[in-house]
Structure 1
Amino acid sequence: MKIVVQVRLFPDAGQEAALRDTLNLCNEAANVVSAEAYRFRVFGKQALQRLTYGQLKAMGLSAQPAIHVARKVAGSYATLKANIRAGNLGKPGSKRRVTSESKPIAFRADAAQPFDDRCLSWQMPDRTVSIWTVRGRSGRVPFRCSDGQYVMLSAHRQGESDLVHRDGKWFLYATCDIPDVEVKEPDGFLGVDLGIANIATTDDGTRHCGKGLNRVRHRNQRLRAKLQRLGTRSARRLLKKRRRKEARFAADTNHRIAKQIVTEAERTGRGIALEDLGGIRERVRLRKPQRVTLHSWAFHQLGQFIAYKATRAGIALARVDPAYTSQGCSACGHIAKANRPNQSTFRCTSCGFAEHADVNAARNIAIRGVADWAAVSLPNAACPAQPAPNAICKLGPSGPRS
């Protein structure tokens, strides 16, 4: 399993100037390569490298940085094509898709640049790095990280590291290849329901959200709307600054929630069952206030955090169909819209079972996790008994609920 470790660099004035010139030249060269790739419709790594290597060397890049610039451009075009195929840029003929297809990809002057071990070396005992720059080797640049990150870097760092300049600070994103942990056979599954009022709810009844968190989220929404209405230069600058602050807040919160969920599953010997929410923003219809809340929280990121933490701990992970988990009864399996009269209440119209709506949905997800895991790990064995067949067989739209 690959994990990215972020460390902060502390270059002196001369080193910082050399790093800045290096990023500027690499991204200027990337724009040249991108224009050539678009002009000749050449997007493969090797072909693009052969096409532009002479130009890159003439611009002042050494061999390895020149190769990495060509590969960075090829990777960007591969990502663009993947987004187009997935429909992330709209349907054919849509304004956003036409715009992205009608011009070469452009790179910012301070966009990240990858380096391999030939042009970047780590001196772990001294906690310094030496980086190739357009002015020669940078000398030893100090870096800082946590003790856990230092141990991981020392034991598992492999491959490339990305040089990043953000908000006046310098960072290295290093790739660590951690050995896979054997997945333990789960004793049941911990169902996790993702939602808007409660970001995550487990079938044990734990709801990972509170008034304090919602207050911060709503305050951020109000400030964002106010600044967008103003539209001045200073308002746009503040919006950019707040966007990063909100992203850091969401990522920290998601990390905390994911850690608690994985710790509970590990303590009880269970696996984790998550909803498969791919394409949820295109499928779900919500009122306007709910749309803002849905789009302002990184549900996909939370699912990724839970997944990679579970993988590191050797915990089984199942992604299940979320259809009707909010309308189905976890006790008898009866499905009806009337089962959920409001956001927080679930009351089965068939058997009378009552529970918090998100907890009931999480229990349905846990049940489907058991069934899906049995189907994958024991395809010839009998499927575990379920509350009712229609709780699993019916399909339909679902997702984060209000």
Structure 2
Amino acid sequence: MTYPLILLASSVLLIAFFIEYLGRTFRFPSVVALIVVGIVGQLVMNYFDLELKGLKLLVPILGTLGLILIVLEGAADIELRRERLALIIDASIIAFGGILCCVAIYALLAMSVLGLALFQAVTLAVPFAVISSAVAIPSSSFLPAHDREFVVYETSISDVLGVLIFFSLLHSDGSPVGVLTGLLGGGILSLLTSIVCALGLVLLLMRISGQVRFIPLLAGLFGLYAIGELMHISSLIMVLLFGLALNNPQLITRIPFLSHWIDESYDTTLDEFKMILIELTFAIRGFFFILLGFSTKLEAIFSWSAWFAAMLILSVIYSSRYLLLKLRNHTQVDALTWLAPRGLITILLYLSAKEVWPLPEFLDGTVVIVVLTSSLLILQASRKTRNHETDAINTTTGADAPRTPEIRIP
């Protein structure tokens, strides 16, 4: 059994690489193809009456590790400057407003259709209200640099807020006071703990030496994340701060007694660390989405109830997002509206809710449909961006521009 498993793992990685390559070349979301490959693999295994055990345990683990790495990778590419403050505030408003609108509408639907109590309905609504940074950040490469940064901030903040709100609800007594106490206390504790942990990890990277450097550092990060989650602290804040501090060491060296900790080799060390992140993120992300497709119950996907619920959820996602972006006067409203995929966070939080309360089986299919459809709709965002760029070129070379046979506008 050892060699077949090695062959299977190798095949999964090679298929994931091929899909990622095609996704970059033809600009389609690789998440959809990865999940479809998993579903096809499930059909093949069923045909030959084969079984792959341990998926229920493996999928959440891979999903959590993938989330950590993707948020870290995205944050480690951001340069913090004073002029970024307006962008961060804007991203925070959109992220919080999107969660608030979606949760309010989803909770009303869950109460009326599923007959859930208000507390249960609000808790179940949160997973569907959170944008997945695991899908959005890699899929935003077609956007201009400013809008890519907006996506990184917004989706990371959405993840952090979603996790914090969800677990504050899940672990409270259900009363408004209990939820508010858990939310505010958890938020402050998360921020303080995250600052200390992120500072320690960055200082470790600055001074670490030897051939084995990055795996122990990542092991420490994963361990701290797990401890934080066990204590119901939003550890994604730590991951976000760690990534920001990595790419902005001046935040650390401004502290007087740490001003000499960084040396001329830091930039090289950081580049090497980023390469490790990219490789690990690719591997874990590929495994997760293929195994997610493999473990999906096909009968749930083909349920009319699942499709109806998914269409309601998707209509709320994009209508509320369009209005929020329009109110904030974004220049890329048409493109950013469609860049709101659900993914890792939605799946992980939904599974957590399902462990606490019995939920209808069709919701399993609804989650997969929402993830697949919202990922596919990123293609619409890419098309809108190309149309926007073409309109800009046509405006520049309009009626007042000299017309020559050599100039062709695509």
- Higher strand residue share: 1
TM-score above 0.5, yes or no: no
Structure showing greater Rg? 1
- Higher helix residue share: 2
TM-score normalised according to structure 2 size:
0.21
TM-score normalised according to structure 1 size:
0.22
